[in-house]
């Protein structure tokens, strides 16, 4: 199976609606309330896809499977974000969401690697980081396996408890 990252399109609103309103992941993100379809349509129409202009970049993850000698139609499986861009210090936060039915298949690791290549190679960032709840063992394992260094434990960072900042610097 292969995947690609692409810019948001209006047809992505139903996926974003489902993912952004998944309260089970709110403790690991900055969203703490439901979003309407109109909120998301406005977001998609107003975002330029230019991280310098918007201060963030949200990309859709599309996967394709090979069925014998033919590739299947692309399937939307999640989204990847670079956000909290700090141009002066050349750093940004990184975030991933893989839809539950596609988790555990290696996508997150591959997407994270591709996002790092873009961040360090094209954008010339020095550091990318993620703030992750200590309770999210799968996500913490992903960042550890991907060569991130745990830094600064954040005591009582969220209502749910402690978090960890995972850092990766350009080599």
Residue 170 Cα distances to 3, 52, 127, angstroms: 24, 19, 6
Q: What is the pLDDT of residues 74-94, one digit of tens each?
A: 899 999 999 999 999 999 999
Q: What is the pLDDT of residues 58-68, one digit of tens each?
A: 999 999 776 66
The helix or strand, by DSSP H or E, that contains position 78, with its residue range, turns out to be strand 75-86
Cα angle for residues 84, 152, 109 (degrees, 5° grid)? 60
Look at residue 61 in the predicted model and tell me its pLDDT: 97
Look at residue 159 in the predicted model and tell me its pLDDT: 79
Look at residue 16 in the predicted model and tell me its pLDDT: 95
Per-residue pLDDT band for 70 (boundaries 50, 70, 90) equals low
Beta-carbon contacts of residue 13 (< 8 Å; ≥ 6 apart): 37, 40, 41, 44
Whether the Cβ atoms of residue 54 and residue 48 lie closer than 8 Å to each other? yes
Residue 49 Cα distances to 26, 56, 81, 83, 87, angstroms: 24, 8, 11, 12, 16
Please provide the distance, in angstroms rounded to a whole number, between the alpha carbons at the two ends of the chain.
29
């Amino acid at each position: 199976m292969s995947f690609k990252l692409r810019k948001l399109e209006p047809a992505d609103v139903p996926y974003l609606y489902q993912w952004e309103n998944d309260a089970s992941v709110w403790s690991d993100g900055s969203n703490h309330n439901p979003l309407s379809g109109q909120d998301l349509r406005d977001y998609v129409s107003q975002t330029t896809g230019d991280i310098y202009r918007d201060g963030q970049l949200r990309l859709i993850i599309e996967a394709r499977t090979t069925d014998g000698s033919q590739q299947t139609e692309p399937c939307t499986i999640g989204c990847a974000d670079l956000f909290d861009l700090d141009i002066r210090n050349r750093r940004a936060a990184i975030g991933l969401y893989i839809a539950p039915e596609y988790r555990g298949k290696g996508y997150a690791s591959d997407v994270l690697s591709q996002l790092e290549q873009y961040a360090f190679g094209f954008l010339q960032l020095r550091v990318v980081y993620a703030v992750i709840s200590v309770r999210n063992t799968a996500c913490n394992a992903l960042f550890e396996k991907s060569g991130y260094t745990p830094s600064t434990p954040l005591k009582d960072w969220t209502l749910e408890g402690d978090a960890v900042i995972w850092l990766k610097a350009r080599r």
